[in-house]
A and B are shown apart, each in its own frame.
Chain A
Amino acid sequence: DVKVTQSSRYLVKRTGEKVFLECVQDMDHENMFWYRQDPGLGLRLIYFSYDVKMKEKGDIPEGYSVSREKKERFSLILESASTNQTSMYLCASGGWAGGSGQETQYFGPGTRLLVL
């Protein structure tokens, strides 16, 4: 079974703090993704990575950065947290689905971040 883990389920931070969200996958997948999920807005892609030390901006990268030093680990960094970054953050890892022969995405449990 694919396993994607995230370092925290819940986090509370203050405005201006630097925040690190860690994601680890155990399936040797090349591709990893960070999304945020907000009511009424659905899933929005922040950043993704197709390989170690490689990163690409998603649809809403502003205020975020990422790090991929090892294949299994993809970190999301909020350089200076703001209240509008309060959200559910979801990490995903890309791998081959069982039936269709095409890569799909498997999600971690999510980190609910509250910025005060």
Chain B
Amino acid sequence: GESVGLHLPTLSVQEGDNSIINCAYSNSASDYFIWYKQESGKGPQFIIDIRSNMDKRQGQRVTVLLNKTVKHLSLQIAATQPGDSAVYFCAEQTGANSKLTFGKGITLSVRP
């Protein structure tokens, strides 16, 4: 069957290296952002989120950076592992309880 990753840009990294996945968002009024990971054949999985009053937030092996000046969001994955191979989506929200707007996604491929 077709993969959700078809037609998406691909980032290829060596196992053990750090990965940086970038996302440009569209609405300067967006105040909440989420990164999701989607493995083949599965639903998107929440990774980390950040509100617009912050510019950095860290989780376990992941860091999200927000640059509101240029409307840019990035996800950094430390010591990338084969299990990190997936499609990664960013999502933005404007105001609580409003709809999420999703990016198209980027495929992360980890080379052994």
Contact = CB atoms under 8 A, between A and B. Distances in A.
A74 interface: no
Interface string A82-116: 00000010100000010111111111111010000
Given A40-B7, A100-B50, A102-B32, A110 B42 contact: yes
B43 A90 contact: yes
Interface in A41-64: 41-43, 45, 48, 50, 58
A97 B46 contact: yes
B96 A102 contact: yes
B68 interface: no
Given A42-B105, A43-B89, A112-B1, A102 B6 contact: no
Nearest to B31: A102
Contacts of B45: 107
B103 A109 contact: no
Question: What size tier do the contact residues of chain B reach?
Answer: 20 to 34
B74 to A, nearest CB: 17
A7 to B, nearest CB: 14
Contacts of A42: 89, 102-105
Contacts of B3: 39
B4 interface: yes
Q: Which 8 A-B pairs have the closest CB atoms?
A: A107-B43, A39-B6, A40-B7, A43-B102, A42-B104, A107-B44, A100-B49, A110-B43
Interface of B: 1-7, 32, 34, 36, 41-46, 48-51, 57, 59, 89, 91, 93, 96-97, 99-100, 102-105
